[in-house]
Amino acid sequence: MRVSPPLPLIVTALHEAPSEMAIRRGFEAGRVIGGAAALVFEFIFGRKKKSPPPGNHIVPTVPKINMSPGSTYLLPSSKPDMAFKIFAKEIRNGANGMIITRLHPGEVKARFSVGSCPIHWLSRAFTKESMSPTNLGAMAEQIEGFVSKNNNPLVLLDGIEYLIVQNDLQKVVRFISSVRDSVALHSARMVIPFNMQSVDESGRALITRDLHVIKWND
Amino acid sequence: MDRDDSPSTPMRFYKTYVQGFDEALGGGIPKGHVMLISGPPGTMKSSLAYNILYQNAIREDIKGAYLTLEQSKSSLEFQLSRMGMDMERVEDRVQIQDLSRIRLGIEELRGKARFGTPAERPWLDVLKRHIEDVKEGHPFELLALDSLPVLEIISGLRERRINLFQFFGWLKGLGCTSFVISEVSPDPNTVHDEDFLADGLLYLTMEKVGGLDVYRRIRCVKMRGVNHSTGIYTLEFKEGGFKVSQVI
């Protein structure tokens, strides 16, 4: 029969400073247990790739996409970075671009080589470059105006998740449908980064229905 | 500008110069129409009406007259200049007639029983005579009257529909295109006598969107003789001009 030590004794033991040897033994025991747990994890889930050393990040290569004129592409992604890289690459290849984004224009210019293309900031802030997220009609006409007046036009439409929050899904689906028509009508191209986890399955079905979904490893 | 009203000549249109809206109207407002610009307070009815006169003066050299029955000329000019309109630029073509002062004078005279009772005939007669006098000295093609409710109050119109019918008929007889500003309740289902009597009706509203934003909307409810869009558009005043965009 096991007898539990009296409570004051345990409290006293916890408050006593452990010896250096005890600490080392504790660490070693921890390493043994941790190592064993890692082996079990690897056995069940397979070997995990080693993370790169700090300051040596893996930069995902820009997926090769043959973007056809008149088409709208949806890039499933939790962040818009890859869409910006695709956009920048197309700009370098001679496309005339316009960006509508949740990122501040200053940040866009600092992080991506987008040249001098117009950047509209989806924000409720009262600035010259901001665009109201609830005035979807004006936004659609901005896109229509751009693709109808430029050669080889390319639009990056980022911030769909924000538009859904500010409006509602049905309105945003109607908006995407409207701008997709403008893109098709003027042989333009459009890239829409979108976090597929931000809506449920029916929402995903509505948004992706008429768009070319790019398959890549996020 | 020489114009022939015979049926064989094509209809003359006056543009509203609201970017994107003239296309929806099928080219603009037909000559000779009595147009109602209706809507609740804050929907920019007066600014829109003046802007039509202003833009037509600048771009087409067309003369206009803006008659204000309530807001004083200085207050109106302050409002319009804040919107970027330069009144001096069009002072020889667009006359602002401050009838609020005349109205006050008549009210004073009425107090002295100059016109006796009922007062509706004298006031309306004075107004009509004044507009005719203005037209003689300044042959305007576009006229804005701001506003119908004030006109009704000071005229004390008793048989509303008959009186409005006569007044609108007189406006048509002037041979100009007129814009009568009317304040209505925000309830879009309410129909007024003037809605039937006018040749055209532009209805302005304000709509709450997304829980936080409010947008002005404009809709051409009717326009006789024109195949116009009846759709609702967002109305904005940006960079010195009105523009419409589709509503999604």
In a domain, B173, yes or no: yes
- Give the domain range for residue B108: 34-203
The pTM score is 0.77
Q: Does A134 touch chain B (CB under 8 A)?
A: yes
A129 close to A119: Cβ distance less than 8 angstroms: yes
Q: Check whether residue A125 and residue A26 sit in a common domain.
A: no
Q: Check whether residue A33 and residue A98 sit in a common domain.
A: no
Q: Does A135 touch chain B (CB under 8 A)?
A: yes
Token digits of residue B49: 């009406």
Q: What local confidence, expressed as pLDDT, does residue B113 receive?
A: 45
User: Shortest Cα distance from B201 to chain A (angstroms)?
Assistant: 23
Q: A132–B247: do the CB atoms touch at under 8 Å?
A: no
Q: B247–A124: do the CB atoms touch at under 8 Å?
A: no
Q: Check whether residue A40 and residue A106 sit in a common domain.
A: no
Is the predicted pLDDT of residue B245 greater than 90, yes or no? Answer: yes
A139 → chain B, closest CA residue: B245
How does residue B115 score in pLDDT terms, banded at 50, 70 and 90? very low
User: Shortest Cα distance from B97 to chain A (angstroms)?
Assistant: 36
Q: What local confidence, expressed as pLDDT, does residue A112 receive?
A: 95
Q: What is the mean pLDDT of chain A?
A: 83
In a domain, A59, yes or no: no
Q: What local confidence, expressed as pLDDT, does residue B3 receive?
A: 45
Q: A135–B245: do the CB atoms touch at under 8 Å?
A: yes
ipTM of the complex: 0.74
In a domain, A159, yes or no: yes
Most B CBs within 10 Å, among A127, A129, A135, to test the B interface:
A135
Range in A61-70, B142-151, B223-232 with the lowest mean pLDDT = A61-70
Q: What local confidence, expressed as pLDDT, does residue B103 receive?
A: 66
List, for residues B35-94, the tens digit of each pLDDT value.
999 999 999 999 999 999 999 999 999 999 999 998 899 999 999 999 999 999 999 999
Q: Check whether residue A106 and residue A12 sit in a common domain.
A: no
Q: Cβ atoms within 10 A of the Cβ of B200, count?
A: 22
List CB contacts (< 8 A) between B237 and chain A.
Answer: none
A163 → chain B, closest CA residue: B210
In a domain, B228, yes or no: no
List CB contacts (< 8 A) between B233 and chain A.
Answer: 137
Q: Does A141 touch chain B (CB under 8 A)?
A: yes
Residue percentage of chain A with pLDDT more than 90: 66
Token digits of residue A192: 């829409």
A164 → chain B, closest CA residue: B210
Residue with tokens 């956009």: A87
How does residue B198 score in pLDDT terms, banded at 50, 70 and 90? very high
Segments of chain B assigned E as strands: 13-14, 29-30, 34-39, 64-68, 94-98, 142-146, 177-183, 200-209, 213-223, 232-238, 241-246
Total structural domains within chain A: 2
List, for residues A3-33, the tens digit of each pLDDT value.
444 444 444 444 444 555 555 565 565 565 6
In a domain, A1, yes or no: no
Q: Cβ atoms within 10 A of the Cβ of B217, count?
A: 18
List, for residues A77-94, the tens digit of each pLDDT value.
999 999 999 999 999 999
Q: What local confidence, expressed as pLDDT, does residue B70 receive?
A: 84
Total structural domains within chain B: 1
Query: Distance between CA A8 and CA A16 in Å, rounded?
Result: 12
Q: A167–B209: do the CB atoms touch at under 8 Å?
A: yes
Q: B248–A134: do the CB atoms touch at under 8 Å?
A: no
* Residue A157 φ/ψ region, left for φ over 0, alpha for ψ in the -120 to 50 degree band, beta for the rest: beta
In a domain, B142, yes or no: yes
- Give the domain range for residue A173: 71-213
Q: Cβ atoms within 10 A of the Cβ of A58, count?
A: 8
Segment 1-20 of chain B within 8 Å of chain A by CB: 20
Alpha carbon distance, N-terminus to C-terminus of chain B: 41
Is the predicted pLDDT of residue B1 greater than 50, yes or no? Answer: no
Segments of A38-116 assigned E as strands: 71-76, 96-101
Q: What local confidence, expressed as pLDDT, does residue A3 receive?
A: 46
The list of chain A residues with pLDDT below 70 reads: 1-60
HSE, side-chain direction, 13 A CA sphere, residue A101 = 25
Residue type, B165: F
* CATH code, domain with A90: 3.40.50.300
Q: What local confidence, expressed as pLDDT, does residue B111 receive?
A: 58
User: Shortest Cα distance from A132 to chain B (angstroms)?
Assistant: 9
Which of B212, B236, B248 comes nearest A136 by C-beta?
B248
Residue B206: phi and psi, rounded to 5, are -125, 135
In a domain, B143, yes or no: yes
Distance of CA A86 to CAs A191, A212, B22, Å?
8, 15, 39
Is the predicted pLDDT of residue B188 greater than 80, yes or no? Answer: no
Q: What local confidence, expressed as pLDDT, does residue B184 receive?
A: 78
Helices B148-155 and B99-111 meet at what angle, rounded to 10? 10
In a domain, A190, yes or no: yes
Q: Check whether residue A129 and residue A187 sit in a common domain.
A: yes
In a domain, B215, yes or no: no
B8 close to B233: Cβ distance less than 8 angstroms: no
Q: What local confidence, expressed as pLDDT, does residue A45 receive?
A: 58
List, for residues B147-185, the tens digit of each pLDDT value.
898 888 877 777 788 888 889 999 999 999 999 999 876
Q: B20–A141: do the CB atoms touch at under 8 Å?
A: yes
* CATH code, domain with B71: 3.40.50.300
